[in-house]
Structure 1
Amino acid sequence: MRRRASLLVLLAALGLPGAALARCEGVVPGQRPQNADRDFVGESLDDIVERGWIEFAVYEGLPPYSWEEGGEPKGLDIGIGRIIAEALGVEPRFRFVSSGENLEADLRFNVWQGLPMGAGENVVANVMLHVPYDSNFACRVEQVVFTGQAYQEQVAIAYRKDAYPENPPTPAYFRFDLVAVENDTIADFYLASFAGGQMNANIRRFASIEGAVEAVNRGEIGAAMGPRAQLEAAAGEGVAVATPPLPGLAMHKWTVGLAVHHAHRDLGYAVDDAVAAALADGRIAALFQEAGLSFTPPER
């Protein structure tokens, strides 16, 4: 089962209302794991250009962002990786990785340290894609540079138009109507706690967001809740996607970018320039348009 909850729930926690602070003020960096290699890790920008290729870590089985079909990488994040590689004048290569216990573990294993001893090839990728940006989190994780903000994602609701012909459903509808979610995700936790747990009996949990939306496509359930792009990609005929207000959910939208090792800030600047140029000339928006998905520019 693919788990995305650790990433999104972390963002939701970071987004809880609180006193306004200057960036990194009062944020204590995370403790570095013992016996971790603190030397120069990975390749510099010059090394990458000289050898002629750059490696991106991307999440496996995560349409419409990244997946393999017939051995060929596909998805929005794959397209962004190719845009970056073209700007650097090198070949893009993609390493598909599974999501770990939380976002910090994903960054540790794929960006700044590598897998634990005995767990396979102990090397890091040059760049990790599909990394959500949060200022407080960036202050806590000093080993990583968060950059290349490329698009914005948000929680949405897919619904059958024949079940809700007048207006899209809001969370309050699910006190009486069934709703599908991916198990252990921010949508699941949000609905389970909404209105004092009044809608728990109406939540139907699936192993993936695709499975949840398929139940809506078949007419078994009237609506599903999750990330907008995933809902739009899986929605069938007669199913629409809306972004209604989500009371009580502080982090209902987030910016998605990438991560590089803190020692390679020159690489970070180069990939950020590539993303900024692709935003300015519409190439990233075109990736979404070609996939039939809504595009929201990032907050950079």
Structure 2
Amino acid sequence: MGINQRVFLPFLLVLTLLSAGQAFSRPYDELLASGFLRVGVYENFPPYSFKNADGEAVGIDVDIAQHIADEMGLELELFWMLPDEDLADDLRNYLWRGHVLDHDHKHERLSGKKVADVMLRVPYDRNFNYARGYIGQGVYAYQNDLIVMMMPYQRETWKLAHNSDRLEAARTLAVFQYHPIGVEMETVPAFMLTSVFNGNLRNQVRHFRSPAQAFQAMVEGEVTAVMAMRGELEWLLAQHASDSLKMGDTTFPAMGKQHWDIGIAVREADRQLGYHIEGILEPLVMSGEIASIFERYGVTWEVPAFYDF
């Protein structure tokens, strides 16, 4: 076997396996002709995508998805997603291959798996999108080449809310050596708070299944503060009107990334759809009109760093 064959056979094998497992996308013209747009949003994730007491789908991302579908002249079909261990898993399960446990959509085009046409609330990370990994024999390949991250439409950040009756201000995380703080389990704040200051905060960190449960614990006095994403905390503060519950101005220098852009993702084969959606959302972002959608849910909209020229 020649040197070129030895080098490129592993590479070709990987490409073959990837294409065999990929859910075939709907061609752009076929999507338009179908009359509907399937948008992936996270399930039970207020204020972004959730169902209200009447069972209606609501939230910032639901409203954005509806706006996109309306502008395209299509009906909106929401595709509710449950988060897996990391972003790569979510993109695989809901955008380009389909979930391994999905046995209910044999009618879906070629793949037998249900996948979204476009996925919202995707952290916009060029390094992730163009990451390369070693596949053997001196060959490197793009690890996420089946998807494209596009159109940042929000800047998200980690924040801290606290009960001012128990703690007047939280100017530094060091105060949580003496006050209990709630976090969602297996999140960046959970890992960060249990490791900073040589682990001296660990005994004061309380882990909950969601920011809402952590916030309720603060309302009931079990914890003094909660650390989560700003949008989640602003929504929860709006639901629990109280002069004593406040958003803090604490910064987190020990955290690798305190702010990040949120955008969309489409399959590599669906760039035309992605460009169409960019054309719909970009004017809203550049003009700031998108802020009105966030205001409906008591959330502050911040222009993505992508547009901070």
Where does 1:172-191 land on structure 2 (aligned, <5 Å)? 172-191=174-193
Q: Does 1:80 align with 2:64?
A: yes
Retained in 2: the 8 A contact 1:83–1:278?
no
Aligned counterparts of 1:222 and 1:84: Cα–Cα separation in 2: 40
Pair 57,234 (structure 1): closer, same or farther in 2 beyond 3 Å: same
- 1:98 maps to which residue? 82
- 2:223 maps to which residue? 221
Among 154, 162, 165, the residue aligned to 2:165: 162
User: Percent identity among equivalent residues?
Assistant: 29
Q: 1:263 aligns to what SS in structure 2?
A: helix
Cα shift readout 1:77-98 (whole Å, capped 9, x = no counterpart): 1111112112212121101111
Retained in 1: the 8 A contact 2:212–2:236?
yes
Question: TM-score normalized by structure 2?
Answer: 0.81
Among 291, 294, 298, the residue aligned to 1:288: 294
Aligned counterparts of 1:193 and 1:296: Cα–Cα separation in 2: 29
Q: 1:147 aligns to what SS in structure 2?
A: strand
Which letter does structure 1 place at the counterpart of 2:232?
Answer: Q
Where does 1:60-75 land on structure 2 (aligned, <5 Å)? 60-69=43-52, 70-75=54-59
Question: TM-score normalized by structure 1?
Answer: 0.84
What's the offset of the Cα at 1:219? 2.7
The structure number with the bigger radius of gyration is 2
Which letter does structure 1 place at the counterpart of 2:231?
Answer: A
Pair 32,190 (structure 1): closer, same or farther in 2 beyond 3 Å: farther
Listed as ranges, the gaps of 5+ residues in structure 1 are 1-30
- 2:94 maps to which residue? 110
Aligned counterparts of 1:255 and 1:42: Cα–Cα separation in 2: 26
- 2:9 maps to which residue? none
Pair 118,253 (structure 1): closer, same or farther in 2 beyond 3 Å: closer
Which letter does structure 2 place at the counterpart of 1:298?
Answer: P
- 2:150 maps to which residue? 147
Retained in 2: the 8 A contact 1:36–1:113?
no
Retained in 2: the 8 A contact 1:155–1:243?
no
Which letter does structure 1 place at the counterpart of 2:81?
Answer: V
- 2:126 maps to which residue? 135
Cα shift readout 1:45-92 (whole Å, capped 9, x = no counterpart): 322222221000111111111112333211111111112112212121
- 2:4 maps to which residue? none
Task: Tell me the number of residue pairs that the alignment of Structure 1 and Structure 2 aligns.
Answer: 269
Q: Does 1:196 align with 2:202?
A: no
Aligned counterparts of 1:111 and 1:118: Cα–Cα separation in 2: 13
Pair 153,117 (structure 1): closer, same or farther in 2 beyond 3 Å: closer
Aligned counterparts of 1:285 and 1:157: Cα–Cα separation in 2: 22
- 1:28 maps to which residue? none
- 2:110 maps to which residue? none
Listed as ranges, the gaps of 5+ residues in structure 2 are 1-13, 106-112, 132-143
Q: Does 1:255 align with 2:250?
A: no
Alignment root-mean-square deviation, CA: 1.9
Retained in 2: the 8 A contact 1:149–1:272?
no
Aligned counterparts of 2:272 and 2:196: Cα–Cα separation in 1: 45
Retained in 1: the 8 A contact 2:23–2:96?
no
Among 266, 271, 289, the residue aligned to 2:272: 266
- 2:34 maps to which residue? 51
What's the offset of the Cα at 1:208? 0.8
Q: Does 1:210 align with 2:212?
A: yes
What's the offset of the Cα at 1:153? 0.8
- 1:234 maps to which residue? 236
Pair 109,40 (structure 1): closer, same or farther in 2 beyond 3 Å: closer
Q: Which has the higher contact order (CA 8 A, sep 6+)?
A: 1
Aligned counterparts of 1:136 and 1:117: Cα–Cα separation in 2: 30
Aligned counterparts of 1:33 and 1:180: Cα–Cα separation in 2: 46
Aligned counterparts of 1:233 and 1:215: Cα–Cα separation in 2: 16
Retained in 1: the 8 A contact 2:124–2:149?
yes
Q: 1:283 aligns to what SS in structure 2?
A: coil
Which letter does structure 2 place at the counterpart of 1:44?
Answer: P
What's the offset of the Cα at 1:120? 3.8
Which letter does structure 2 place at the counterpart of 1:52?
Answer: G
